A and B are shown apart, each in its own frame.
Chain A
Amino acid sequence: MIKMVNISKVFSPGTVNENAAIRNVDLVVNEGDFITIIGSNGAGKTTLFNLISGNMIPTEGQVLINGRDVSKEQEFKRARYIGRIFQDPLLGTASTMTLEDNMMITHRKGRKGLRISLNNKMREFFREKLTSLEMGLEDRLKDNVGLLSGGQRQALTLLTMVISRPELILLDEHTAALDPRNAKIVLELTMRFINDYGLTTMMITHNMNHAIQYGNRLLMMDKGEIILDISGAEKEALTVEKLVDKFHDIRKRTLESDEVMLST
Protein backbone atom coordinates (compact mmCIF):
# COMPACT_ATOMS: atom_id res chain seq x y z
CA MET A 1 0.00 0.00 0.00
CA ILE A 2 2.95 2.34 0.63
CA LYS A 3 5.83 2.46 -1.73
CA MET A 4 8.90 4.64 -1.32
CA VAL A 5 10.96 4.90 -4.45
CA ASN A 6 14.59 5.98 -4.20
CA ILE A 7 13.86 8.43 -1.39
CA SER A 8 16.52 10.81 -0.13
CA LYS A 9 16.30 13.59 2.41
CA VAL A 10 19.16 16.04 2.75
CA PHE A 11 19.07 18.75 5.39
CA SER A 12 20.80 22.08 4.72
CA PRO A 13 22.06 21.02 1.26
CA GLY A 14 25.07 22.89 -0.08
CA THR A 15 26.19 24.16 3.32
CA VAL A 16 28.81 22.95 5.78
CA ASN A 17 25.95 21.45 7.76
CA GLU A 18 24.78 19.30 4.86
CA ASN A 19 23.32 16.13 6.32
CA ALA A 20 21.87 13.25 4.34
CA ALA A 21 19.37 11.84 6.85
CA ILE A 22 17.83 9.37 4.37
CA ARG A 23 19.88 7.93 1.49
CA ASN A 24 18.27 6.31 -1.55
CA VAL A 25 15.77 4.28 0.40
CA ASP A 26 13.36 1.89 -1.34
CA LEU A 27 10.59 0.40 0.75
CA VAL A 28 7.28 -1.35 0.17
CA VAL A 29 4.82 -1.63 3.02
CA ASN A 30 2.12 -4.21 2.35
CA GLU A 31 -1.38 -4.05 3.70
CA GLY A 32 -1.55 -5.81 7.05
CA ASP A 33 2.19 -5.50 7.71
CA PHE A 34 3.27 -4.84 11.26
CA ILE A 35 6.79 -3.52 10.91
CA THR A 36 9.11 -2.79 13.83
CA ILE A 37 11.99 -0.39 13.21
CA ILE A 38 15.22 -0.16 15.17
CA GLY A 39 18.40 1.81 14.69
CA SER A 40 20.78 4.03 16.61
CA ASN A 41 20.15 7.69 17.42
CA GLY A 42 20.18 9.77 14.27
CA ALA A 43 19.77 6.75 11.98
CA GLY A 44 16.85 8.46 10.26
CA LYS A 45 13.87 6.59 11.70
CA THR A 46 11.84 9.65 12.60
CA THR A 47 12.78 11.31 9.33
CA LEU A 48 11.44 8.26 7.49
CA PHE A 49 8.12 8.72 9.33
CA ASN A 50 8.13 12.44 8.57
CA LEU A 51 8.48 11.63 4.87
CA ILE A 52 5.59 9.16 4.99
CA SER A 53 3.31 11.44 7.02
CA GLY A 54 4.06 14.46 4.86
CA ASN A 55 5.66 16.47 7.65
CA MET A 56 8.69 16.65 5.35
CA ILE A 57 9.02 16.68 1.59
CA PRO A 58 11.74 14.38 0.16
CA THR A 59 14.75 15.95 -1.51
CA GLU A 60 14.56 13.19 -4.11
CA GLY A 61 12.30 10.25 -4.91
CA GLN A 62 8.62 9.52 -4.55
CA VAL A 63 6.17 8.35 -1.93
CA LEU A 64 3.25 6.37 -3.37
CA ILE A 65 0.18 5.46 -1.38
CA ASN A 66 -2.08 2.91 -3.05
CA GLY A 67 -0.36 3.75 -6.31
CA ARG A 68 -0.95 7.49 -6.00
CA ASP A 69 2.03 9.82 -5.81
CA VAL A 70 1.63 11.80 -2.59
CA SER A 71 5.19 13.17 -2.42
CA LYS A 72 3.90 16.74 -2.46
CA GLU A 73 0.66 16.22 -0.53
CA GLN A 74 0.50 18.21 2.69
CA GLU A 75 0.62 16.56 6.09
CA PHE A 76 -2.93 17.45 7.15
CA LYS A 77 -4.33 15.80 4.01
CA ARG A 78 -2.39 12.58 4.51
CA ALA A 79 -3.47 12.59 8.17
CA ARG A 80 -6.94 11.62 6.98
CA TYR A 81 -5.70 8.09 6.33
CA ILE A 82 -2.44 7.97 8.31
CA GLY A 83 -2.51 7.97 12.11
CA ARG A 84 0.60 8.97 13.99
CA ILE A 85 1.58 8.85 17.65
CA PHE A 86 4.64 10.60 19.00
CA GLN A 87 6.88 10.00 21.95
CA ASP A 88 5.43 13.06 23.67
CA PRO A 89 2.04 12.14 25.19
CA LEU A 90 1.00 15.80 25.06
CA LEU A 91 0.92 15.94 21.27
CA GLY A 92 -2.09 13.71 20.70
CA THR A 93 -4.71 15.48 22.79
CA ALA A 94 -5.61 19.00 23.94
CA SER A 95 -4.81 19.57 27.66
CA THR A 96 -7.23 22.40 28.22
CA MET A 97 -10.28 20.60 26.91
CA THR A 98 -12.43 17.91 28.47
CA LEU A 99 -12.04 14.25 27.64
CA GLU A 100 -15.40 14.19 25.85
CA ASP A 101 -14.58 17.31 23.83
CA ASN A 102 -11.27 15.75 22.80
CA MET A 103 -13.05 12.60 21.72
CA MET A 104 -15.65 14.65 19.87
CA ILE A 105 -12.97 16.45 17.87
CA THR A 106 -11.15 13.27 16.94
CA HIS A 107 -14.42 11.50 16.22
CA ARG A 108 -15.23 14.12 13.59
CA LYS A 109 -11.91 13.54 11.88
CA GLY A 110 -12.11 14.06 8.16
CA ARG A 111 -15.72 15.19 8.30
CA LYS A 112 -16.32 18.77 7.27
CA GLY A 113 -18.35 21.58 8.71
CA LEU A 114 -19.36 22.79 12.14
CA ARG A 115 -21.65 20.66 14.21
CA ILE A 116 -22.59 20.72 17.83
CA SER A 117 -23.64 17.16 18.37
CA LEU A 118 -22.23 16.05 21.67
CA ASN A 119 -25.38 14.27 22.80
CA ASN A 120 -26.00 11.46 25.23
CA LYS A 121 -25.82 8.82 22.54
CA MET A 122 -22.34 10.07 21.69
CA ARG A 123 -21.34 10.08 25.35
CA GLU A 124 -22.52 6.50 25.69
CA PHE A 125 -20.40 5.51 22.70
CA PHE A 126 -17.33 7.27 24.15
CA ARG A 127 -17.93 5.71 27.55
CA GLU A 128 -18.14 2.25 26.03
CA LYS A 129 -14.89 2.76 24.11
CA LEU A 130 -13.13 4.19 27.17
CA THR A 131 -14.22 1.24 29.25
CA SER A 132 -12.19 -1.00 26.95
CA LEU A 133 -9.03 0.82 28.13
CA GLU A 134 -9.66 -0.43 31.67
CA MET A 135 -8.28 2.78 33.17
CA GLY A 136 -11.45 4.16 34.70
CA LEU A 137 -11.53 6.98 32.17
CA GLU A 138 -15.21 6.30 31.39
CA ASP A 139 -16.10 8.13 34.60
CA ARG A 140 -13.99 11.17 33.78
CA LEU A 141 -15.61 12.47 30.60
CA LYS A 142 -15.87 15.99 32.02
CA ASP A 143 -12.30 16.18 33.30
CA ASN A 144 -9.71 18.15 31.41
CA VAL A 145 -7.25 15.91 29.61
CA GLY A 146 -4.42 17.90 31.24
CA LEU A 147 -5.29 16.13 34.49
CA LEU A 148 -4.59 12.66 33.08
CA SER A 149 -1.27 10.86 33.44
CA GLY A 150 1.03 10.50 30.46
CA GLY A 151 0.07 6.84 30.11
CA GLN A 152 -3.64 7.61 30.18
CA ARG A 153 -3.18 10.35 27.60
CA GLN A 154 -1.20 8.09 25.30
CA ALA A 155 -3.87 5.38 25.67
CA LEU A 156 -6.55 7.95 24.86
CA THR A 157 -4.65 9.10 21.79
CA LEU A 158 -4.32 5.50 20.69
CA LEU A 159 -8.03 4.88 21.18
CA THR A 160 -9.19 7.97 19.30
CA MET A 161 -6.78 7.22 16.49
CA VAL A 162 -8.03 3.66 16.15
CA ILE A 163 -11.68 4.75 16.14
CA SER A 164 -10.98 6.92 13.09
CA ARG A 165 -9.90 3.77 11.16
CA PRO A 166 -6.61 4.89 9.62
CA GLU A 167 -5.12 2.83 6.81
CA LEU A 168 -1.65 3.05 8.32
CA ILE A 169 -0.42 3.93 11.80
CA LEU A 170 3.03 5.30 12.64
CA LEU A 171 4.23 4.83 16.22
CA ASP A 172 7.42 6.71 17.07
CA GLU A 173 8.72 5.38 20.41
CA HIS A 174 5.28 6.10 21.75
CA THR A 175 5.96 4.48 25.11
CA ALA A 176 9.46 5.87 25.65
CA ALA A 177 8.36 8.85 27.76
CA LEU A 178 6.28 6.71 30.12
CA ASP A 179 7.29 4.98 33.33
CA PRO A 180 7.84 1.22 32.94
CA ARG A 181 4.41 0.25 34.30
CA ASN A 182 2.49 2.65 32.03
CA ALA A 183 4.76 1.79 29.10
CA LYS A 184 3.80 -1.86 29.48
CA ILE A 185 0.08 -1.09 29.69
CA VAL A 186 0.15 1.17 26.62
CA LEU A 187 2.22 -1.33 24.66
CA GLU A 188 -0.19 -4.17 25.45
CA LEU A 189 -3.09 -1.95 24.46
CA THR A 190 -1.33 -1.14 21.21
CA MET A 191 -0.91 -4.83 20.39
CA ARG A 192 -4.55 -5.50 21.19
CA PHE A 193 -5.77 -2.70 18.92
CA ILE A 194 -3.44 -3.70 16.08
CA ASN A 195 -4.82 -7.25 16.28
CA ASP A 196 -8.47 -6.36 16.77
CA TYR A 197 -8.58 -3.79 13.98
CA GLY A 198 -6.03 -5.43 11.69
CA LEU A 199 -4.06 -2.20 11.43
CA THR A 200 -1.13 -1.80 9.08
CA THR A 201 1.55 -0.57 11.45
CA MET A 202 5.07 0.81 11.54
CA MET A 203 6.56 1.04 15.03
CA ILE A 204 9.89 2.60 15.98
CA THR A 205 11.36 1.24 19.19
CA HIS A 206 14.66 1.35 21.02
CA ASN A 207 13.94 -1.97 22.62
CA MET A 208 15.47 -4.80 20.56
CA ASN A 209 13.43 -7.43 22.34
CA HIS A 210 10.19 -5.69 21.50
CA ALA A 211 11.29 -5.28 17.90
CA ILE A 212 11.96 -9.01 17.71
CA GLN A 213 8.92 -10.10 19.68
CA TYR A 214 6.28 -8.01 17.90
CA GLY A 215 5.27 -7.69 14.28
CA ASN A 216 5.82 -9.75 11.16
CA ARG A 217 8.71 -7.73 9.83
CA LEU A 218 11.74 -5.91 11.21
CA LEU A 219 13.73 -3.06 9.69
CA MET A 220 17.10 -1.92 10.96
CA MET A 221 18.27 1.53 9.95
CA ASP A 222 21.76 2.93 10.07
CA LYS A 223 23.10 6.22 8.74
CA GLY A 224 20.05 6.94 6.62
CA GLU A 225 19.77 3.50 5.07
CA ILE A 226 17.62 0.45 5.70
CA ILE A 227 20.34 -2.14 6.22
CA LEU A 228 18.13 -5.05 7.28
CA ASP A 229 14.62 -6.05 6.28
CA ILE A 230 13.67 -9.33 7.90
CA SER A 231 10.28 -11.02 7.71
CA GLY A 232 8.54 -14.38 7.72
CA ALA A 233 10.19 -17.43 9.26
CA GLU A 234 13.52 -15.63 9.56
CA LYS A 235 11.86 -12.97 11.70
CA GLU A 236 10.24 -15.66 13.84
CA ALA A 237 13.61 -17.27 14.55
CA LEU A 238 15.38 -13.99 15.26
CA THR A 239 17.28 -13.39 18.51
CA VAL A 240 19.20 -10.38 19.78
CA GLU A 241 22.51 -12.19 19.16
CA LYS A 242 21.62 -12.98 15.55
CA LEU A 243 20.60 -9.38 15.00
CA VAL A 244 23.85 -8.04 16.40
CA ASP A 245 25.83 -10.50 14.26
CA LYS A 246 23.97 -9.52 11.14
CA PHE A 247 24.69 -5.87 11.79
CA HIS A 248 28.38 -6.67 12.15
CA ASP A 249 28.43 -8.64 8.88
CA ILE A 250 26.91 -5.76 6.97
CA ARG A 251 28.58 -2.77 8.56
CA LYS A 252 31.93 -4.36 9.49
CA ARG A 253 31.74 -2.63 12.84
CA THR A 254 30.41 -3.72 16.17
CA LEU A 255 26.96 -2.68 17.16
CA GLU A 256 27.39 -0.93 20.46
CA SER A 257 24.78 -2.29 22.78
CA ASP A 258 23.81 1.21 23.80
CA GLU A 259 23.51 2.26 20.17
CA VAL A 260 20.30 0.31 19.90
CA MET A 261 19.42 0.18 23.53
CA LEU A 262 19.10 -3.30 24.89
CA SER A 263 16.64 -2.66 27.65
CA THR A 264 14.39 -5.52 28.56
Chain B
Amino acid sequence: MIEGIFVEGLVYGIMVLGVFITFRILNFPDLTVDGSFPLGAAIMAIMLTRGSSPWLALMLALTGGILAGFVTALIHTKLIGAMGNNEQMVINQGVNPEYMKLIGVGLSNGLVALSGAFVAQFQGFADVNLGQGIIVAGLASVMMGEFILRSNKIAILTLRVLLGSILYRGLMYLGRYYGYYINLTPSDLRLITGLLIVVSLIVTQLRGERKWSGAGAAPLNGGDPKQGAVGTAPDAKEAAATRGSA
Protein backbone atom coordinates (compact mmCIF):
# COMPACT_ATOMS: atom_id res chain seq x y z
CA MET B 1 0.00 0.00 0.00
CA ILE B 2 2.73 2.44 1.00
CA GLU B 3 4.58 1.67 -2.20
CA GLY B 4 1.44 2.22 -4.26
CA ILE B 5 0.83 5.59 -2.64
CA PHE B 6 4.45 6.56 -3.17
CA VAL B 7 4.45 5.67 -6.87
CA GLU B 8 1.12 7.36 -7.43
CA GLY B 9 2.34 10.40 -5.55
CA LEU B 10 5.45 10.68 -7.71
CA VAL B 11 3.63 10.04 -10.98
CA TYR B 12 1.04 12.69 -10.21
CA GLY B 13 3.78 14.78 -8.64
CA ILE B 14 5.09 15.58 -12.12
CA MET B 15 1.68 17.08 -12.89
CA VAL B 16 1.73 18.99 -9.60
CA LEU B 17 5.08 20.51 -10.60
CA GLY B 18 3.40 21.76 -13.75
CA VAL B 19 0.50 23.23 -11.79
CA PHE B 20 3.00 24.81 -9.38
CA ILE B 21 4.78 26.57 -12.26
CA THR B 22 1.68 28.23 -13.66
CA PHE B 23 -0.29 28.88 -10.48
CA ARG B 24 2.52 29.86 -8.18
CA ILE B 25 5.43 31.11 -10.26
CA LEU B 26 3.59 32.67 -13.20
CA ASN B 27 0.53 33.67 -11.14
CA PHE B 28 -1.52 32.38 -14.04
CA PRO B 29 -4.50 30.09 -13.39
CA ASP B 30 -3.94 27.86 -16.40
CA LEU B 31 -6.96 25.72 -17.26
CA THR B 32 -5.12 23.99 -20.11
CA VAL B 33 -3.93 21.48 -17.51
CA ASP B 34 -7.29 19.66 -17.50
CA GLY B 35 -6.74 19.06 -21.22
CA SER B 36 -3.01 18.44 -21.47
CA PHE B 37 -3.19 15.69 -18.87
CA PRO B 38 -5.50 13.37 -20.87
CA LEU B 39 -3.63 14.49 -24.01
CA GLY B 40 -0.44 12.97 -22.63
CA ALA B 41 -2.34 9.88 -21.52
CA ALA B 42 -3.93 9.47 -24.95
CA ILE B 43 -0.61 9.84 -26.77
CA MET B 44 0.95 7.21 -24.52
CA ALA B 45 -1.97 4.78 -24.93
CA ILE B 46 -2.09 5.10 -28.71
CA MET B 47 1.67 4.74 -29.12
CA LEU B 48 1.84 1.69 -26.86
CA THR B 49 -1.07 -0.11 -28.49
CA ARG B 50 0.68 0.45 -31.82
CA GLY B 51 3.76 -1.23 -30.44
CA SER B 52 6.05 1.80 -30.25
CA SER B 53 8.71 2.18 -27.57
CA PRO B 54 7.56 3.74 -24.29
CA TRP B 55 10.46 6.21 -24.41
CA LEU B 56 9.38 7.56 -27.77
CA ALA B 57 5.82 7.73 -26.44
CA LEU B 58 6.98 9.73 -23.41
CA MET B 59 8.87 12.15 -25.63
CA LEU B 60 5.82 12.61 -27.82
CA ALA B 61 3.55 13.14 -24.80
CA LEU B 62 5.94 15.78 -23.46
CA THR B 63 6.05 17.49 -26.86
CA GLY B 64 2.26 17.36 -27.17
CA GLY B 65 1.86 19.00 -23.77
CA ILE B 66 4.43 21.70 -24.56
CA LEU B 67 2.62 22.54 -27.81
CA ALA B 68 -0.69 22.75 -25.95
CA GLY B 69 0.99 25.13 -23.49
CA PHE B 70 2.41 27.23 -26.34
CA VAL B 71 -1.07 27.73 -27.77
CA THR B 72 -2.34 28.96 -24.41
CA ALA B 73 0.68 31.22 -23.89
CA LEU B 74 0.31 32.72 -27.36
CA ILE B 75 -3.40 33.40 -26.90
CA HIS B 76 -2.62 34.91 -23.52
CA THR B 77 0.27 37.16 -24.56
CA LYS B 78 -1.48 38.40 -27.68
CA LEU B 79 -4.76 39.13 -25.94
CA ILE B 80 -4.15 39.94 -22.34
CA GLY B 81 -0.61 40.72 -21.33
CA ALA B 82 0.90 40.72 -17.88
CA MET B 83 1.81 37.49 -16.16
CA GLY B 84 4.12 36.46 -13.38
CA ASN B 85 5.27 37.99 -10.17
CA ASN B 86 6.76 41.13 -11.68
CA GLU B 87 6.71 41.57 -15.42
CA GLN B 88 8.36 45.00 -15.35
CA MET B 89 11.35 43.46 -13.61
CA VAL B 90 11.67 40.84 -16.34
CA ILE B 91 11.68 43.61 -18.95
CA ASN B 92 14.21 45.61 -16.94
CA GLN B 93 16.60 42.66 -17.14
CA GLY B 94 16.51 42.90 -20.92
CA VAL B 95 14.48 39.72 -21.24
CA ASN B 96 11.46 39.36 -23.51
CA PRO B 97 8.56 38.51 -21.19
CA GLU B 98 6.71 36.77 -24.02
CA TYR B 99 9.47 34.17 -24.33
CA MET B 100 9.38 33.62 -20.60
CA LYS B 101 5.65 32.98 -20.68
CA LEU B 102 6.04 30.66 -23.63
CA ILE B 103 8.74 28.69 -21.81
CA GLY B 104 6.87 28.68 -18.50
CA VAL B 105 3.44 27.66 -19.75
CA GLY B 106 5.00 25.26 -22.29
CA LEU B 107 7.15 23.56 -19.66
CA SER B 108 4.22 23.38 -17.26
CA ASN B 109 1.91 21.65 -19.72
CA GLY B 110 4.72 19.44 -20.97
CA LEU B 111 5.16 18.14 -17.42
CA VAL B 112 1.42 17.69 -17.00
CA ALA B 113 1.19 15.66 -20.22
CA LEU B 114 4.20 13.60 -19.17
CA SER B 115 2.44 12.86 -15.91
CA GLY B 116 -0.68 11.90 -17.87
CA ALA B 117 1.42 9.50 -19.95
CA PHE B 118 2.78 7.82 -16.82
CA VAL B 119 -0.69 7.58 -15.32
CA ALA B 120 -1.95 5.89 -18.51
CA GLN B 121 0.82 3.30 -18.08
CA PHE B 122 0.18 2.97 -14.39
CA GLN B 123 -3.57 2.42 -14.73
CA GLY B 124 -3.41 0.56 -18.02
CA PHE B 125 -5.95 2.77 -19.77
CA ALA B 126 -6.58 6.32 -20.90
CA ASP B 127 -9.76 8.27 -21.47
CA VAL B 128 -10.82 11.89 -21.61
CA ASN B 129 -12.22 11.86 -18.10
CA LEU B 130 -8.74 11.41 -16.67
CA GLY B 131 -8.41 15.16 -16.88
CA GLN B 132 -11.40 15.82 -14.68
CA GLY B 133 -10.46 17.53 -11.46
CA ILE B 134 -6.75 17.45 -12.27
CA ILE B 135 -6.26 21.16 -11.57
CA VAL B 136 -8.00 20.91 -8.23
CA ALA B 137 -5.97 17.84 -7.26
CA GLY B 138 -2.81 19.64 -8.36
CA LEU B 139 -3.65 22.74 -6.37
CA ALA B 140 -4.53 20.72 -3.28
CA SER B 141 -1.16 18.96 -3.54
CA VAL B 142 0.73 22.25 -3.97
CA MET B 143 -0.99 23.70 -0.92
CA MET B 144 -0.41 20.63 1.21
CA GLY B 145 3.26 20.84 0.35
CA GLU B 146 3.30 24.46 1.45
CA PHE B 147 1.49 23.31 4.56
CA ILE B 148 4.30 20.94 5.60
CA LEU B 149 7.41 22.88 4.60
CA ARG B 150 8.23 26.57 4.54
CA SER B 151 11.02 27.78 2.33
CA ASN B 152 12.07 30.18 -0.40
CA LYS B 153 14.80 27.97 -1.87
CA ILE B 154 14.05 26.55 -5.26
CA ALA B 155 15.30 23.03 -4.43
CA ILE B 156 13.03 22.81 -1.39
CA LEU B 157 10.13 24.35 -3.28
CA THR B 158 10.44 21.54 -5.82
CA LEU B 159 10.82 18.86 -3.17
CA ARG B 160 7.78 20.00 -1.25
CA VAL B 161 5.66 19.86 -4.39
CA LEU B 162 6.45 16.14 -4.58
CA LEU B 163 5.91 15.66 -0.84
CA GLY B 164 2.57 17.44 -1.12
CA SER B 165 1.59 15.16 -3.97
CA ILE B 166 2.46 12.01 -2.01
CA LEU B 167 0.60 13.24 1.05
CA TYR B 168 -2.45 14.10 -1.03
CA ARG B 169 -2.46 10.69 -2.71
CA GLY B 170 -2.09 9.07 0.69
CA LEU B 171 -5.14 10.87 2.01
CA MET B 172 -7.11 10.02 -1.10
CA TYR B 173 -6.07 6.38 -0.69
CA LEU B 174 -7.32 6.36 2.87
CA GLY B 175 -10.54 7.95 1.73
CA ARG B 176 -11.01 5.35 -1.01
CA TYR B 177 -10.28 2.25 1.06
CA TYR B 178 -11.51 3.09 4.50
CA GLY B 179 -14.10 5.70 3.64
CA TYR B 180 -16.92 3.16 3.36
CA TYR B 181 -16.88 2.71 7.12
CA ILE B 182 -18.34 6.16 7.29
CA ASN B 183 -20.29 5.82 4.03
CA LEU B 184 -17.92 7.88 1.89
CA THR B 185 -18.52 7.41 -1.85
CA PRO B 186 -15.87 8.17 -4.49
CA SER B 187 -17.57 11.43 -5.38
CA ASP B 188 -17.32 12.50 -1.76
CA LEU B 189 -13.56 12.53 -2.28
CA ARG B 190 -14.06 15.72 -4.26
CA LEU B 191 -15.55 17.26 -1.17
CA ILE B 192 -12.54 16.13 0.84
CA THR B 193 -10.19 17.68 -1.74
CA GLY B 194 -12.10 20.94 -1.49
CA LEU B 195 -11.93 20.86 2.29
CA LEU B 196 -8.21 20.09 2.16
CA ILE B 197 -7.64 23.20 0.04
CA VAL B 198 -9.63 25.37 2.40
CA VAL B 199 -7.93 24.02 5.51
CA SER B 200 -4.42 24.35 4.02
CA LEU B 201 -5.21 27.90 2.95
CA ILE B 202 -6.46 28.87 6.37
CA VAL B 203 -3.58 27.26 8.25
CA THR B 204 -0.88 28.72 5.99
CA GLN B 205 -2.53 32.11 6.29
CA LEU B 206 -2.73 31.84 10.06
CA ARG B 207 0.92 30.92 10.28
CA GLY B 208 1.56 34.19 8.54
CA GLU B 209 3.46 32.73 5.65
CA ARG B 210 3.51 35.82 3.51
CA LYS B 211 5.59 34.84 0.56
CA TRP B 212 3.20 32.75 -1.48
CA SER B 213 0.04 34.44 -0.38
CA GLY B 214 -0.45 36.13 -3.74
CA ALA B 215 -3.82 34.55 -4.50
CA GLY B 216 -6.02 37.21 -6.02
CA ALA B 217 -3.39 39.95 -6.10
CA ALA B 218 -2.66 41.68 -9.36
CA PRO B 219 0.47 40.10 -10.88
CA LEU B 220 2.27 43.42 -11.13
CA ASN B 221 1.81 44.00 -7.44
CA GLY B 222 4.60 41.65 -6.65
CA GLY B 223 2.09 39.12 -5.44
CA ASP B 224 1.90 40.41 -1.92
CA PRO B 225 -1.40 42.05 -1.04
CA LYS B 226 -0.09 43.41 2.25
CA GLN B 227 2.71 45.21 0.45
CA GLY B 228 0.33 46.59 -2.12
CA ALA B 229 -0.50 49.53 0.08
CA VAL B 230 3.04 50.89 0.02
CA GLY B 231 2.88 52.57 -3.32
CA THR B 232 0.41 53.48 -5.97
CA ALA B 233 1.53 52.35 -9.37
CA PRO B 234 0.03 54.62 -11.97
CA ASP B 235 2.95 54.06 -14.31
CA ALA B 236 2.71 50.32 -14.02
CA LYS B 237 -0.96 50.36 -14.76
CA GLU B 238 -0.44 52.63 -17.71
CA ALA B 239 2.26 50.35 -18.92
CA ALA B 240 0.15 47.26 -18.53
CA ALA B 241 -2.78 48.98 -20.21
CA THR B 242 -0.81 50.06 -23.24
CA ARG B 243 0.88 46.73 -23.62
CA GLY B 244 -2.50 45.09 -23.42
CA SER B 245 -4.09 47.25 -26.05
CA ALA B 246 -1.09 47.21 -28.38
Contact = CB atoms under 8 A, between A and B. Distances in A.
Interface of A: 46, 50, 55-56, 74-77, 79-80, 83-84, 86-98, 101, 105-106, 108-110, 142, 144, 146-147, 150, 161, 172, 177
A84 B88 CA distance: 10
Contacts of A94: 85-86, 89, 222
A90 B231 contact: yes
Nearest to B98: A76
10 contacts: A50-B238, A76-B90, A76-B91, A79-B93, A87-B235, A93-B222, A96-B224, A150-B230, A150-B231, A177-B230
Nearest to B94: A80
Contact of B223 (A79, A92, A95): A95
B53 interface: no
Contacts of A161: 92
A80 B228 CA distance: 28
B85 A55 contact: no
Contacts, number: 119
Contacts of A75: 91
Counting from the closest, the 9 A-B pairs by CB-CB distance are A177-B231, A95-B222, A88-B233, A80-B94, A90-B222, A88-B231, A150-B230, A91-B88, A79-B94
Contacts of B153: 98
Nearest to A96: B211
B239 interface: yes
Given A75-B91, A91-B236, 20 more contacts: A50-B239, A76-B97, A87-B235, A88-B233, A89-B230, A90-B221, A90-B222, A90-B228, A91-B86, A91-B88, A91-B222, A93-B89, A94-B85, A95-B227, A98-B153, A106-B93, A109-B93, A146-B223, A146-B224, A146-B227
B92 A79 contact: yes
B230 A96 contact: no
Contacts of A105: 89, 93
A86 B94 contact: no
A146 to B, nearest CB: 5
B173 interface: no
A108 B94 CA distance: 10
A164 to B, nearest CB: 8
A142 B94 CA distance: 25
Interface string B215-246: 00000111110011011111110110011000
B78 interface: no
B164 to A, nearest CB: 18
B235 A98 contact: no
Interface of B: 85-86, 88-97, 152-153, 210-212, 214, 220-224, 227-228, 230-236, 238-239, 242-243
B86 A177 contact: no
A204 to B, nearest CB: 10
A147 to B, nearest CB: 7
Nearest to A177: B231
A77 B94 contact: yes
A200 to B, nearest CB: 17
A123 B214 CA distance: 28
A68 B210 CA distance: 46
A55 B231 contact: no
Given A90-B222, A91-B236, A95-B86, A74 B230 contact: no
Nearest to A81: B94
A150 B227 CA distance: 9
Contacts of A101: 152
Contacts of A142: 152
Contacts of B97: 76
Contact of A76 (B96, B214, B227): B96
Contacts of A79: 91-94
Contacts of B210: 144, 146-147
A87 B95 contact: no
A84 B210 CA distance: 27
A83 B93 CA distance: 9
A146 B222 contact: yes
A86 B236 contact: yes
Nearest to A149: B230
B239 A55 contact: yes
A80 B91 CA distance: 9
Given A88-B231, A90-B221, A55 B236 contact: no
B152 A92 contact: no
Nearest to A56: B242
A110 B242 contact: no
Given A87-B232, A87-B233, A92 B89 contact: yes
Given A89-B230, A146-B224, A96 B95 contact: no
